[in-house]
Amino acid sequence: MIEYGHIYNEDCLKTMERMDNETIDFVITSPPYDNIRNYNGYTFDFENIVTQLFRVMKKGGVIIWVVADATIDGSETGTSFRQALKFMDEGFKLHDTMIYYKNNPMPQTGNRYHQMFEYMFCFSKSSPKTFNPIKEKTKYRGLANMKNRGTEGELHYERIERTTEKKVGNVFMYSIGGGISTKDKIAFKHPAIFPEKLVYDQILTWTNEYDIVYDPFMGSGTTAKMSELLHRKWIGSEISKEYVDIATERISMYKQNDLFAIS
Ligand SMILES: C[S@@+](CC[C@H](N)C(=O)[O-])C[C@H]1O[C@@H](n2cnc3c(N)ncnc32)[C@H](O)[C@@H]1O
Residue 187 CA: which ligand 1 atom is closest? 9
pLDDT at 263: 45
Give the mutation target among 35, 39, 120, 235 for probing the ligand 1 site: most ligand atoms within 8 A of CB.
39
pLDDT of residue 39: 55
Q: Which of 132, 136, 134 is nearest to 232 (CA)?
A: 132
Looking from the CA of residue 218, the nearest atom of ligand 1 is 5
- CATH ID of 6-133+168-257, from 2.10.10.90, 3.40.1160.10, 3.40.50.150, 3.40.1000.10: 3.40.50.150
Instruction: Look at 140 and 156; give whichever has higher pLDDT.
Output: 156
Span from the CA of 215 to the centroid of ligand 1 (angstroms):
9
**Strand ranges across the sheet with 212-215:** 6-8, 233-237, 212-215, 24-29, 57-67, 117-124, 93-102, 171-174
3-class SS at 248?
A: helix
Q: For the segment 105-123, what is each residue's pLDDT rounded down to a tens digit? A: 888 888 999 999 999 999 9
**Mean pLDDT of all residues in the chain?**
91
Nearest CA to ligand 1 atom 2: 219
- What's the pLDDT at 258? 60
Say whether pLDDT at 261 is over 70.
no
Q: Whole-angstrom Cα distance, residue 263 to residue 260?
A: 10
Of 70-74, 146-150, 172-176, 208-212, the least confident:
146-150
Query: What average pLDDT does range 201-218 have in this prediction?
Result: 98
**pLDDT at position 21 over 60:** yes
* pLDDT over 80 (residue 35): no
Instruction: Give the pTM.
Output: 0.90
Name which of 196-200, 248-252, 253-257 the model is least confident about. 253-257
Q: How far is the CA of 158 from the centre of ligand 1 (A)?
A: 55
Protein residues whose CB sits closer than 6 Å to any atom of ligand 1: 11-12, 30, 32, 39, 42, 44, 190, 192-194, 216-217, 219-220, 222, 237-240, 243
Q: How far is the CA of 193 from the centre of ligand 1 (A)?
A: 10
pLDDT of 40 reads: 54
Average pLDDT over residues 135-142: 82
Domain with CATH 3.40.50.150 in the chain: 6-133+168-257
Q: Where are the alpha helices (DSSP H) in the chain?
A: 12-17, 46-56, 79-90, 196-206, 222-229, 241-257
User: Above pLDDT 90, what percent of the chain?
Assistant: 74
